[in-house]
Amino acid sequence: MPACVGEMRIPCMGRLTTRSVFLAVAVAGSTACRGEQSAAPPLPLVELTTAVVDGSGEDFVLSGTIEAERTTPLDFGVVGTIEELSVHEGQVVQRGQVLGRLKTRAYEDALAIAVAKADQAEDALRRLEPMHRNYTIADVKWVEVQTGAQQARHARSLAQKNLDDCVLRAPVDGTVTSRSAEPGMTTMPGRPVLVLVSTRVVRATAPVPSGKVARLRVGQVVSVLVDAVGTERSGEIVEIGVVADPLTRTYPVKVRLPNADGALRVGMVAELRVRIAGAASAVVVPREAVRVDDSGQPVVYVVRGDEVRYQPVEVAGYRGEYIAISRGLSAGDRVVTSGTPMLADRIKVRVAATRDTGARAR
């Protein structure tokens, strides 16, 4: 019997022990679930701005390119054989710097002949002048001597110029962008051997639609952003085209920009922002308030009470640091500018701060 009792008691104890474990686990799980439900995550924290009406003018954004203010093709002024070209593409040169030379033997000889003839003509003029004063030679002879001396002077000057033109010098400070000849080649006037661009001052050029060009003026200040160098510079309009491109029906507008550091290079893409006065008043918000959804639609998140509402909008343009909204937003609406990146329609939020847009109706 003790053995039997022992055999019966062990399974019984085992069953009691197993039920106790299951009960403990169930209680613990229930307690954990109740704890999770009671400790809800905090609401997202966002910053807001208030949409306002602005009538200061519209920022018109154009896409353009950087161009050199001056492009100068350089050629030798006389026919000859190139003896030396001392610069290469991309080299920065200074005004007056020697860039190349022609072989000069023929021009040196021509100058020597011209000098000799000029000296002879001057000597004849000196010898015959006393006779002219004494009326011992005819006037027509004296005129011939004077004319010969003058022609000889011009011939000497021309020979000297031809010899000087055998040396090619930089007319301005700039950068060599093209080299189309090599030593030993024959060249002639009008055939460029180098192209020099001056980039201490550059121009940002952009096409402007016909509907906007009439509202621009020479001297107007333009903000130019060049992403390639990460700089934004201020320039002024120096030229507005008067003839439209036959294909795009746009007019070229050129903005003069300082470039003493040489950071802006020809061909870089530039964004031109022009303030157009007289634009109609519009509701504006900071740029960071406008987002783009998966379909490419611009949207904002408007806070109503403690919820955010997903709101598609239409963008009318830029106004300084703000974006003008033509539809979908009203003055006084509170719009999210920063906070959680995972915003969704009708989620509850907490407001950290409300930012003043700084814009006002004018």
Q: What is the CATH number of the domain that holds 102?
A: 2.40.50.100
234/298 same-domain check: no
HSE, CB side, 13 Å, CA atoms: give it for residue 108: 5
**Model confidence over 117-169: pLDDT tens digits?**
999 999 999 999 999 888 888 999 999 999 999 999 999 999 999 999 999 99
Residue predicted with more confidence, 55 or 238: 238
99-108, 180-189, 345-354: least confident range: 345-354
Task: Find the range with the poorest average confidence among 146-155, 231-240, 274-283, 300-309.
Answer: 274-283
Between CA 189 and CA 291 the distance in angstroms is 59
Look at residue 61 in the predicted model and tell me its pLDDT. 85
Which pTM does this prediction carry? 0.56
341 and 85 Cβ atoms separated by less than 8 Å: no
Arithmetic mean of pLDDT, 12-23: 40
**How many distinct structural domains can be found in the chain?**
3
Full domain range(s) for residue 199:
61-69+194-276
Of 258, 276, 294, which residue constitutes the final position of a domain? 276
Residue where a domain stops, chosen among 154, 187, 220:
187
CA 361 vs CA 54, 55, 327, 354, 356: distances in Å? 4, 5, 18, 19, 14
Residue 59, beta-bridge partner list: 275, 318
Percent residues over pLDDT 90 in the chain: 50
pLDDT of residue 316: 79
Residue 339 has a pLDDT of: 72
Same domain, 206 and 254: yes
CATH number at residue 305: 2.40.420.20
Residue 109 CA, distance from chain mean position: 52
DSSP calls for 74-118: E--SS-EEEEEE---TT-EE-TT-EEEEE--HHHHHHHHHHHHHH
Q: Are 349 and 303 in contact (CB under 8 A)?
A: yes
For residue 32, pLDDT beyond 70: no
User: Are residue 200 and residue 293 in the same domain, yes or no?
Assistant: no
- Give residues with Cβ within 8 angstroms of 326, minimum separation 6: 282, 314, 315, 316
CATH number of the domain where residue 257 is located: 2.40.30.170
Same domain, 269 and 217: yes
pLDDT at position 20 is 43
